[in-house]
């Protein structure tokens, strides 16, 4: 790297005039449009290019610094990065909002409109993908030299629409309008082998004769942190064919055959798998996982070797984080590269691999734990299967030496599969091949030790730790909630943006009535905005005075959207029974996508919409209860709903939600939580105080005990007339007169196999909701509690979580929180 670093960024913006000139320059010379007839899309592209310029100098300086100081690098490998839009976030991170607003105004363009025309980068399903995006923001903010590595899907998570209340899916082709943030790196190409066989070479070394090679092409997106001082790289891989066309077939007129291998290759980065809880075990999924993992490992080894001759130094200079098991093949791919490509011995390679890798688990749901059949794994990755077997032997030897009378069958990486054939357990491989395996909340880490990873925990004590999730305060308060962010800046300054625990300074204002009024007014602005959107998109008129009761997350039975809508039915019946009572007006807002193949989740979406149709059109009810299912939940919609929320629904069956992160975002924006003691709800409750949250329901221990003892929901239903009336109504077609039996499957599940304990927690949930009504009626007290929620969740910053990873797992230094407070002065 040459030393010459520009003193002042070439394209430094010091005024709105500078910004205006640069935007027009980009529009004309990069977008190639005449300002006179440029459309909104063009202006958005020009603005993105102009703002991106502000990143490039800092990006290069950050890269040079990492090389110059030989800093330890962090590599975050994830199949998903749920980024959303980047423009507003980057403008705020660089402190350019004022200049941009004025520049656009002088060009007769509307800032908000331009922001809305940037497509969401929906390269993820839900929690895991969004966490990865928040962590990128924090690693840049903390100036950790880090790379995110993932796949550049051409189609992100599907677009959801509702047809008569049923979910429908359309492809999400976010790239059609161009992704102006990225830089294509045509010189960065890696060969990714697949299939074939392994042969013994004359020198006894193993050689993989692959049947197919696909190319991985790099695309880089700069990731700025708060104040834009440090810029990291998100490198996404696109699949390219080794040969674009098979000329021989083409010349024979077999055009499709001629394109076949090219199509096969490009399919790898075509689309994101829309499942977020079920391991489909599909061939293409395994190819996607190996594709990006191998390209990433080859790339980071090239970077390491560019200024470190000795690979034994790798663990001192590189930390690789596996975001769940999806990149777990990294354990054997790193071994393969070290042994087969760099001639290292197996034991040394294994030791280096473990000291370099660490694994995060995000779910204990059995159906989500990836397990590849031996046939498929061996066919696609024959050399890796050999290495998996070798590691399994070492592992079982270690286990035997631990003399812990453990069931070796349960410990094996390659299990004998009770009757459904041998398989490679990727959770076991990731665990054994790493020096740390972390859960994403305290309860989750505990459950990892007590359930799925119990035996492994016995063999490798201390390897499991908990690092509770966090969210970036830049996007999830400063950027998405201007009314509240401005009020906070006026009241306690802006240190909290760079150091969220500084938001604690708000606590004394909880008892300040005048401040309370302003806090309430800020919430009101966001509620009015959302009410307007609901009216415009759903044609449903809602009152901003009502309590905005929000459940926004992927549709899944363990998240119990069903419990929520059943409470709505009970409440509906109660209001109809006593229409003159002074009911607390409530708007129930649902949003969330169901995996396309998850029929029960899709049926619950339909139930919510059928109940909404009945309730919203019932004259007896009026404004006392309204229900809205807002379609196509994504990052940008979350940024509009969260600031407007009064009540945050976190009601999962205890022991099933690893952490949750929406719970943190909603509490930070002054919503009060109603929830079970599950995931991070436990830690949120501890920090906000039991009076400022509504906890209900069975605990994880109680659920486990009920499972052992056997739980019969019929007894509960018979004993609870309200519950019974709700289930009977749903089952008899009260909400689906055109198809009375439509929800039979739901009623059967509740009656004969209530695996998610909906019936068991129903009564407690109803009571808690009535207490919420009580609380909401006392506006002063509700606002005081809401302020305390905002003031007391600073610890749930992604910056704190990344500091924990840096200290406990990666062994890299980070600047103290105070460094950001000072910068704010």
List, by residue number, the catalytic residues.
362, 553-554, 559, 661, 665
Report the nearest approach of ligand 26W to the CB of residue 278 (Å).
Answer: 6
CB of 561 to ligand 26W, least distance (A): 14
Residue number, 280 or 490, with CB nearest to ligand 26W: 280
Which of residues 53, 118, 324, 549 is near ligand 26W by CB under 6 A? 324
Nearest to 82 by CA among 3, 10, 150: 150
The CB-of-663 to ligand 26W minimum distance in angstroms stands at 9
**Is the CB of 434 or the CB of 469 nearer to ligand 26W?**
469
Q: Is 804 in the site for ligand 26W (CB under 6 A)?
A: no
Closest residue by beta carbon to ligand 26W? 127
Toward ligand 26W, which CB reaches closer, 127 or 423?
A: 127
Shortest distance, position 136 Cβ to ligand 26W, whole Å:
14
Number of residues in contact with ligand 26W under rule CB under 6 A? 22
Q: Rounded to 5 degrees, what angle do the CA atoms 101, 102, 108 make?
A: 90
Segment near ligand 26W (CB under 6 A); pick from 124-132, 189-197, 336-344, 718-726:
124-132
According to CB under 6 A, which one of 138, 167, 277, 634 is a site residue for ligand 26W? 277
Which element (helix H / strand E) includes 300?
Answer: helix 283-307
**C-alpha–C-alpha distance, residues 542 and 628, integer Å:** 9
Q: Does 370 bind ligand 26W (CB under 6 A)?
A: yes
- C-alpha 172/C-alpha 717 separation (Å) is 42
Contacts (CB under 6 A) with ligand 26W, residues 671-730: 679
Q: Rounded to the nearest whole angstrom, what is the least distance from the CB of residue 362 to ligand 26W in the complex?
A: 4
- Using the rule CB under 6 A, give the single segment among 123-131, 135-143, 182-190, 300-308 that binds ligand 26W: 123-131
Helix, strand or coil, per DSSP, at residue 242? coil
What minimum distance in Å lies between the beta carbon of 652 and ligand 26W?
A: 8
Measured CA to CA, the distance from residue 601 to residue 553 in angstroms comes to 12
Minimum CB separation from ligand 26W for residue 245, in Å? 34
Residue among 609 and 659 whose Cβ is closer to ligand 26W: 659
Among positions 42, 53, 182, 275, the unique one binding ligand 26W when judged by CB under 6 A: 275
Pick the stretch among 194-202, 527-535, 651-659, 789-797 that binds ligand 26W (CB under 6 A): 651-659
| Distance in angstroms (rounded) separating the CA atoms of residues 730 and 384 | 51
- Map the footprint of ligand 26W across residues 474-533, applying CB under 6 A: none
Q: Considering only CA atoms, which of 135, 140, 124 is closest in space to residue 798? A: 135
CA distances from 12 to 4, 17, 19, 509 (A): 17, 12, 9, 40
- Give, to the nearest 10 degrees, the angle between helix 681-688 and helix 442-450: 140
Q: Which stretch binds ligand 26W (CB under 6 A): 16-24, 89-97, 273-281, 531-539?
A: 273-281
Q: How far apart are CA 735 and CA 729, in angstroms?
A: 7
Among 89, 276, 761, 804, binds ligand 26W (CB under 6 A): 276
In the three-class reduction of DSSP (H, G, I as helix; E, B as strand; rest coil), residue 199 is classed as strand
List all residues 6 or more positions away from 256 whose beta carbon is below 8 Å from its beta carbon. none
* Stretch of residues binding ligand 26W (CB under 6 A), selected from 206-214, 361-369, 386-394, 448-456: 361-369
142 and 805 Cβ atoms separated by less than 8 Å: no
- Looking only at residues 416 through 455 of this chain, which bind ligand 26W when binding is defined by CB under 6 A? 440
Instruction: Return d(Cα 518, Cα 68) in angstroms, integer.
Output: 49
Is the CB of 126 or the CB of 817 nearer to ligand 26W? 126
- For residues 684 and 667, the answer to whether their CB atoms sit within 8 Å is yes
Query: 801, 791, 799, 793: which is closest to 817 by C-alpha?
Result: 799
The residue to which tokens 């992927």 are assigned: 554
Does residue 431 contact residue 438 with C-beta atoms inside 8 Å? no
Task: From residue 631, give the alpha-carbon distance in Å to each of 160, 162, 590.
Answer: 6, 7, 9
Please pick, from the candidates 362, 593, 626, 800, the single residue that binds ligand 26W as defined by CB under 6 A.
Answer: 362
Least CB distance to ligand 26W at residue 196 (A): 26
Are 560 and 653 contacting, i.e. CB atoms less than 8 angstroms apart?
Answer: yes
Q: How far apart are the first and last CA of the chain?
A: 35
Among 378, 470, 660, 697, binds ligand 26W (CB under 6 A): 660
The structure tokens listed for 101 are 């607003």
Stretch that binds ligand 26W, among 51-59, 125-133, 212-220, 574-582 (CB under 6 A): 125-133
In the complex, what is the shortest distance from the CB of residue 304 to ligand 26W, in angstroms, rounded to a whole number? 28
Taking the least distance from each CB to ligand 26W, the nearer of 127 and 731 is: 127
Q: Kind and range of the H or E element at 371?
A: strand 371-373
Strand-pairing partners, residue 424, are 372, 414
Residues 6+ apart with CB under 8 A from 638: 480, 552, 591, 662, 665
Smallest distance, Å, CB 367 to ligand 26W?
Answer: 8
639 binds ligand 26W (CB under 6 A): no
Q: How is residue 606 written in tokens?
A: 């339909």
- Pick between residue 439 and residue 631 the one whose CB is nearest to ligand 26W: 439
CB nearer to ligand 26W: give 118 or 279.
Answer: 279
Q: Is 101 helix (H, G, I), strand (E, B) or coil?
A: helix
Considering only residues 37 to 76 of the shown chain, the ones binding ligand 26W according to CB under 6 A are none
What Å distances lie between residue 368 and 359, 447, 477, CA to CA? 16, 16, 31
Footprint (CB under 6 A) of ligand 26W, residues 126-145: 126-128, 131
Name which of 133 and 487 has its Cβ closer to ligand 26W.
133
Interface residues with ligand 26W (CB under 6 A) are: 125-128, 131, 275-277, 279, 324, 362-363, 368, 370, 440, 469, 657-661, 679
């Amino acid at each position: 790297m040459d030393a010459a670093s520009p003193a002042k960024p070439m394209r430094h913006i010091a005024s709105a005039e500078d910004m205006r000139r640069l935007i027009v320059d980009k529009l004309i010379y990069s977008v190639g449009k005449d300002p006179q007839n440029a459309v909104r899309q063009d202006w958005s592209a020009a603005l993105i290019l102009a703002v991106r310029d502000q990143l490039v100098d800092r990006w290069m300086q950050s890269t040079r610094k990492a090389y110059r100081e030989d800093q330890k690098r962090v590599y975050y490998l994830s199949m998903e990065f749920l980024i959303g839009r980047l423009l507003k976030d980057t403008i705020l991170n660089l402190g350019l909002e004022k200049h941009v607003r004025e520049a656009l105004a002088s060009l007769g363009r509307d800032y908000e409109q331009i922001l809305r025309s940037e497509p969401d980068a929906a390269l993820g399903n839900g929690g895991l993908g969004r966490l990865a995006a928040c962590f990128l923001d924090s690693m840049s903010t903390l100036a950790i030299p880090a790379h995110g590595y993932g796949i550049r899907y051409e189609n992100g998570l599907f677009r959801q629409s509702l047809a008569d209340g049923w979910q429908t899916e359309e492809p999400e082709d976010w790239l059609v309008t161009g992704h102006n943030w990225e830089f294509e790196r045509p010189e960065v190409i890696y060969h990714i082998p697949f299939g074939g066989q392994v042969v013994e070479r004359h020198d006894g070394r193993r050689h993989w004769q692959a049947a197919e090679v696909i190319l991985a092409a790099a695309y880089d997106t700069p990731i700025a942190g708060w104040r834009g001082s440090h810029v990291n790289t998100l490198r996404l891989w696109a699949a390219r064919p080794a040969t674009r066309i098979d000329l021989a077939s083409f010349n024979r007129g077999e055009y499709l055959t001629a394109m076949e291998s090219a199509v096969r290759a490009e399919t790898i980065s075509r689309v994101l798998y829309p499942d977020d809880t079920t391991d489909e075990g599909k061939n293409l999924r395994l190819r996607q996982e190996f594709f990006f993992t191998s390209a990433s490992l080859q790339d980071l080894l090239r970077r390491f070797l560019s200024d470190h001759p000795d690979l034994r130094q790798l663990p001192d200079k590189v930390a690789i984080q596996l975001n769940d098991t999806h990149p777990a093949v990294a354990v054997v791919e790193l071994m393969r590269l070290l042994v087969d490509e760099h001639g290292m011995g197996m034991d040394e390679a294994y030791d280096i691999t473990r000291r370099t890798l660490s694994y995060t688990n995000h779910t204990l749901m059995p159906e989500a734990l990836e397990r590849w059949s031996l046939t498929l794994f061996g066919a696609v990755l024959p050399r890796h299967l050999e290495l998996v077997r070798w590691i399994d032997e070492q592992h079982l030897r270690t286990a035997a030496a631990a003399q812990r009378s453990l069931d070796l069958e349960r410990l094996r990486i390659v299990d004998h599969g009770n009757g459904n054939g041998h398989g490679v357990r990727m959770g076991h491989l990731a665990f054994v091949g790493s020096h740390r395996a972390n859960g994403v909340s305290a309860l989750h880490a505990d459950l990892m030790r007590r359930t799925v990873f119990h035996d492994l925990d016995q063999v490798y004590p201390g390897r499991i730790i908990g690092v509770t999730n966090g969210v970036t305060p830049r996007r999830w308060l400063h950027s998405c909630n201007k009314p509240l962010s401005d009020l906070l800046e006026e009241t306690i300054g802006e240190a909290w943006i760079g150091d969220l625990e500084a938001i604690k300074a708000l606590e004394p204002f909880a008892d300040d009535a005048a401040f309370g009024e302003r806090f309430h007014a800020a919430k009101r602005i966001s509620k009015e905005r959302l009410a307007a959107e609901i009216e415009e998109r759903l044609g449903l008129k809602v009152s901003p005075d009502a309590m905005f009761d929000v459940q926004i997350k992927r549709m899944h039975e363990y998240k119990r959207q069903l419990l929520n809508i059943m409470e709505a039915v009970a409440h509906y019946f109660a209001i109809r029974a006593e229409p003159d009572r002074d009911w607390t007006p409530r708007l129930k807002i649902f949003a969330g996508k169901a995996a396309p193949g998850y029929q029960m989740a899709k049926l619950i979406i339909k139930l919510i919409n059928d109940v909404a149709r009945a309730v919203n059109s019932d004259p007896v009810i009026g404004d006392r209860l309204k229900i809205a299912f807002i379609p196509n939940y994504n990052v940008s919609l979350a940024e509009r709903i969260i600031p407007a929320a009064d009540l945050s629904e976190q009601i999962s069956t205890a022991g099933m939600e690893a952490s949750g992160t929406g719970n943190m975002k909603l509490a930070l924006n002054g919503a009060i939580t109603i929830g079970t003691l599950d995931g991070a709800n436990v830690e949120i409750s501890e920090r906000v105080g039991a009076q400022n949250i509504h906890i209900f329901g069975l605990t994880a221990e109680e659920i486990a005990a009920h499972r052992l003892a056997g739980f019969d929901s019929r007894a509960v239903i018979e004993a609870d007339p309200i519950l019974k009336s709700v289930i009977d109504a749903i089952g008899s077609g009260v909400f689906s007169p055109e198809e009375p039996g439509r929800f039979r499957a739901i009623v059967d599940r509740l009656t004969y196999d209530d695996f998610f304990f909906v019936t068991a927690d129903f009564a407690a949930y109803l009571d808690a909701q009535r207490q919420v009504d009580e609380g909401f009626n006392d506006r002063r007290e509700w606002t005081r509690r809401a302020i305390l929620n905002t003031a007391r969740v600073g610890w749930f910053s992604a910056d704190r979580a990344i500091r924990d990873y840096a200290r406990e797992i990666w062994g890299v230094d980070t600047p103290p929180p105070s460094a950001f407070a000072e910068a704010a002065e």
